[in-house]
Structure 1
Amino acid sequence: MVNAIFVTGTAGSGKSLLTSRLMQWYRDTGAYPVTLNLDPGAVTLPYEPDIDVRNYIDIGTLMESYALGPNGALVMASDLVATKLDEIQEEVYEANPDYLIVDTPGQIELFAFRASGPYFVSNLQADNKATVFAFDGTLVSSPINFVSISLLASAVKLRLKTAQVNALTKRDLVIDRLKDILDWAASAQALESALNVEKDAEYSLLSKDLSRSMTRAGFAPGLVAVSSTTMNGLVNVAAALARTLNQGEDG
């Protein structure tokens, strides 16, 4: 049984490091995980991918062949990812892992908001699928930023149409704000109270309206705090994924 986990989030939120930690976690617990790097623009990674889209798509070649700049080549490469699904799927079949951990492109908009990303997620053959959205702890330490990233996480869930686990990354860097952030995720009232003391009244009101709309629609984030540096909280992320993927029976 293949469980596919798509690791998403904003650029710099720690997706690749979290991918490597999840791989190590599953390996240490006796499962057989395989990593898939789906970022054609990745220069270095904190792990050695078992399957790598860069074997099929080369940014430098696209820049030379089509006279594109780096950004244009990244957009084109992102669109080409969907055309390599069959080859990647064949590698997944050959590996036959328990867990396929997919490290998605650094620029979330290139994966979630263009056609190729949702197509890839929808058509990749796996028994169960889930998304991890990485809430960058250093970005969401203010209540207005928290609402903004929550809105993005909700949009990604709508686009990819998979069950989603929201992980607060870099918990070791925001330890002094950790309780507040987790309170905002768990309680609409706590978030509104924090927004009430924001200096910019206009954006505070807008943030409250957005927060209420997400709560009514069932998109309240709920966060599992994790540090990929200290490994603190990784067990909780794995447990949340287990519940999401197979009703809590890990393995």
Structure 2
Amino acid sequence: MVFGQVVIGPPGSGKTTYCNGMSQFLRLIGRKVAVINMDPANDSLPYECAVNIEDLIKLSDVMAEHSLGPNGGLVYCMDYLEKNIDWLESKLKPLLKDHYLLFDFPGQVELFFLHENAKGVIMKLVKKLNLRLTAVHLVDAHLCSDPGKYVSALLLSLSTMLHMELPHVNVLSKIDLIESYGKLAFNLDFYTDVQDLNYLQHHLGQDPRYAKYRKLTKELCEVIDNYGLVNFSTLDIQDKESVGTLVKLIDKSNGYIFAGIDASAVEFSKIAVGAVDWDYYRVAAVQEKYMKDEDEDFDDK
């Protein structure tokens, strides 16, 4: 049985940086890691790539040959990969004995909540190669500073969870930059736990951009609340404790931690992360580390 992660998320959410940092962390704790580039437009990779989809198909070639834009070209590339899944299987088979897999997918979000081809590729790999994968969905943490964008991120996360049908971990990436675009209206745990979204209504009503869509936004928030599926972990990819916490959560979701594999790595993860599960106190510690208190601002003056 082979374990790994399917790394997805909107453009700019830090997927490639995540794969680079995560692969380094996992190697440090004793795992053999293979990163698979699934983005046919990503020609500048910071990590050593074990399998590269560009060896099969390139977005630039598709756009030129078929007169497609980047979005249509990416859909074509995923469809082509699904039809030529034997190529990917043959590339992955030498890695199945002892490697942990990281799949770095492109940032076109429609591939993961609307189209079937990317899901088809993953499901075929899961069935044929007996993979145990977790979808790691990255969302830029600074979206929390804008209530409207935060609701959009929640909808995207929920739609992706329902569509992908994999164990799923939503992550607020770049947590160290969370207040780079403004102060948060609530404590961080409100955004990570996705608490009662009715509290956002007042802040949405204050913004003229969202005022006329107040009723629509209310209905969308009710849909998210009714499902009750979405919550977030936080990540600073340069902080080993933050990465370790996320690794522990992912290992639980795909069953790695229960498989008796790499006991030393699991033990290291427990030491680095601690025995307490993700809870209010941990989120509070993250908030204290990365978010400036208003009282501190006042003192600075």
Give the SS at the match of 1:65.
Answer: helix
Matches within 5 A, 1:156-175: 156-175=160-179
Superposition deviation, residue 70 in structure 1: 4.3
Which residue in 2 is equivalent to 1:145? 149
217, 220, 241: which one aligns with 2:227: 217
Change in CA separation of 1:84 and 1:27 when aligned onto 2, cut-off 3 Å: farther
Code of the aligned partner of 1:193: Y
Change in CA separation of 1:248 and 1:202 when aligned onto 2, cut-off 3 Å: farther
Report the Cα distance in structure 2 between the residues aligned to 1:227 and 1:185, rounded to whole angstroms: 14
Code of the aligned partner of 2:200: A
Q: What's the CA shift string for 1:80-135, capped at 9, x where partnerless?
A: 12123211122221112442111111212135422211101111133312101101
Code of the aligned partner of 2:195: A
TM-score (norm 2): 0.75
Answer whether contact 2:8 2:105 (CA < 8 A) is retained: yes
Report the Cα distance in structure 2 between the residues aligned to 1:156 and 1:41, rounded to whole angstroms: 22
Give RMSD over aligned pairs: 2.4
Matches within 5 A, 1:81-120: 81-96=81-96, 97-120=98-121
Superposition deviation, residue 205 in structure 1: 4.1
The answer for unaligned runs of 5 or more in structure 1 is: none
Give the SS at the match of 2:49.
Answer: coil
Give the SS at the match of 1:188.
Answer: coil
Change in CA separation of 1:192 and 1:69 when aligned onto 2, cut-off 3 Å: closer
Larger radius of gyration: 2
Give the SS at the match of 2:139.
Answer: strand
Report the Cα distance in structure 1 between the residues aligned to 2:248 and 2:140, rounded to whole angstroms: 20
Give the SS at the match of 2:102.
Answer: strand
TM-score (norm 1): 0.88
Which residue in 1 is equivalent to 2:201? 195
Give % identity.
Answer: 25
Change in CA separation of 1:129 and 1:51 when aligned onto 2, cut-off 3 Å: same
Code of the aligned partner of 2:237: S
Code of the aligned partner of 1:87: W
Code of the aligned partner of 2:23: M
More helix by share: 2
Superposition deviation, residue 71 in structure 1: 4.4
Report the Cα distance in structure 2 between the residues aligned to 1:37 and 1:235, rounded to whole angstroms: 23
The answer for unaligned runs of 5 or more in structure 2 is: 263-301
Answer whether contact 1:141 1:181 (CA < 8 A) is retained: no
Give the SS at the match of 1:13.
Answer: coil
Report the Cα distance in structure 1 between the residues aligned to 2:185 and 2:257, rounded to whole angstroms: 26
Report the Cα distance in structure 1 between the residues aligned to 2:174 and 2:211, rounded to whole angstroms: 29
Q: What's the CA shift string for 1:142-168, capped at 9, x where partnerless?
A: 222111111111111111111110110
Change in CA separation of 1:142 and 1:53 when aligned onto 2, cut-off 3 Å: same
Which residue in 2 is equivalent to 1:15? 15
Higher deviation after alignment, 153-162 or 110-119: 110-119
Change in CA separation of 1:141 and 1:81 when aligned onto 2, cut-off 3 Å: farther
227, 237, 242: which one aligns with 2:251: 242
Report the Cα distance in structure 2 between the residues aligned to 1:2 and 1:67, rounded to whole angstroms: 39
Report the Cα distance in structure 2 between the residues aligned to 1:69 and 1:107, rounded to whole angstroms: 12
Answer whether contact 2:192 2:233 (CA < 8 A) is retained: no
Answer whether contact 2:144 2:184 (CA < 8 A) is retained: no
Answer whether contact 1:226 1:232 (CA < 8 A) is retained: no
Report the Cα distance in structure 1 between the residues aligned to 2:256 and 2:4, rounded to whole angstroms: 15
Which residue in 2 is equivalent to 1:185? 192
**Residue 121 in structure 1 maps to residue 122 in structure 2:** yes
Give the SS at the match of 1:235.
Answer: helix
Answer whether contact 1:185 1:222 (CA < 8 A) is retained: yes
